[in-house]
Amino acid sequence: MERFRRLVRRDGFAFAGADEVDPLLDALGGLEDWADFAASWDRLEPDRYLIATGRRRRRRHAVFAWDEAGPRNEGTGLRRLPPQPHFQTTVHNPLQGGIERWFAPMEEVAVGSSFHTLARLGASVFEALDGRASTPWFIEAHQFRIEAAPGQAGEPTPEGMHRDGVDYVLVAMIARHNIERGTTSIHAPDRTTLGSFTLTRPRDIALVDDHRVLHGVTAVTPRDPAAAAHRDVLVLTYRRRPSA
């Protein structure tokens, strides 16, 4: 955990493979429902806003308040809030900013123990960077499935290199099926490349300081043109909430 904090503090981002992440997740709450959690990506709905631009992806969305970090799955402080739209300014999302976007809500099976554990991992890293023992967060959760087909690459970040307009971001790989590429690149505000990596295995993660760096992901293409191809990720964004 401390390595992640040190890297984000120094570089504005960190990448970690599943072999390093899994022991931390086990200590933070475990992944007992991972199979059902990952299977919920098969039931995402089309992003009708992106379809309007001639692009394709599937997604679901939910919002949460985080007040404290408790042991394992007891007293996590993670509270699901009533559905609300996702909004970004045109500064942060020139493709789809400036409008309220309502997405299908995440299923209950998608917000069980595996989800809580991943959310706690992000909170544990980011609250230390915030300089407070316990930071109240507003968390937006986004399930994404990027589909690719012969002659039609999938675009994980159709808005291009960007910031999300939050404080911190955690991206977790859920599954890759029959795809090539999908490399994440991190950039300084002047667009200088600071690093790149590819999330390939379930629970490979990226942690990003959204104030300091921009990020983007290259398009994905099918490895076997005759078979279905997709890239599934969970994106959690963290914004500070005023303390009570």
DSSP of the chain, one letter per residue? -HHHHHHHHHHSEEEE-HHHHHHHHHHHT--TTHHHHHHGGGG-EE-HHHHTTT---EEEEEEEEE----STTSS--EEEPPP--EE--TTT-TTTTTSEE--PBPPGGGGSHHHHHHHHHHHHHHHHHHTSSS--EEEEEEEEEEEEBTTB-B-S-TT-SB--SSSEEEEEEEEEESEEE-EEEEE-TT--EEEEEE--STT-EEEEETTT-EEEE--EEESSTTS-EEEEEEEEEEEE----
> Where residue 216 sits, what CATH number does that domain have?
2.60.120.620
Alpha-carbon distance of 19 to 203, in angstroms, equals 9
Average pLDDT over the chain reads 87
- Of the candidates 216, 219, 210, the one whose C-alpha atom is nearest the C-alpha of residue 239 is 210
> What range defines the domain where residue 196 resides?
2-240
Tokens of 210: 């959204």
pLDDT at 140 over 70: yes
pLDDT at 88 over 70: no
Alpha-carbon distance of 200 to 208, in angstroms, equals 18
pLDDT at 13 over 60: yes
Alpha-carbon distance of 120 to 122, in angstroms, equals 5
Q: Region 206-220: what's the mean pLDDT?
A: 95
Residue 90 pLDDT grade (very low, low, confident, very high; cuts 50, 70, 90): low
Least confident of 88-97, 143-152, 209-218: 88-97
Alpha-carbon distance of 4 to 16, in angstroms, equals 8
pLDDT at 237 over 90: yes
Q: What pLDDT sits at residue 17?
A: 97
Alpha-carbon distance of 55 to 84, in angstroms, equals 24
Q: Region 190-217: what's the mean pLDDT?
A: 96
pLDDT at 188 over 70: yes
pLDDT at 2 over 70: yes
Q: What percent of the chain has pLDDT over 70?
A: 84
Q: Region 43-62: what's the mean pLDDT?
A: 78
Tokens of 101: 């976007």
pLDDT at 159 over 80: no
Q: Region 133-154: what's the mean pLDDT?
A: 88
Domains held by the chain: number: 1
Do 116 and 73 contact (CB within 8 A), yes or no? yes
- Of the candidates 57, 15, 38, the one whose C-alpha atom is nearest the C-alpha of residue 115 is 38
Least confident of 19-33, 60-74, 136-150: 60-74
Tens of pLDDT along 118-136? 999 999 999 888 776 677 8
pLDDT at 60 over 90: yes
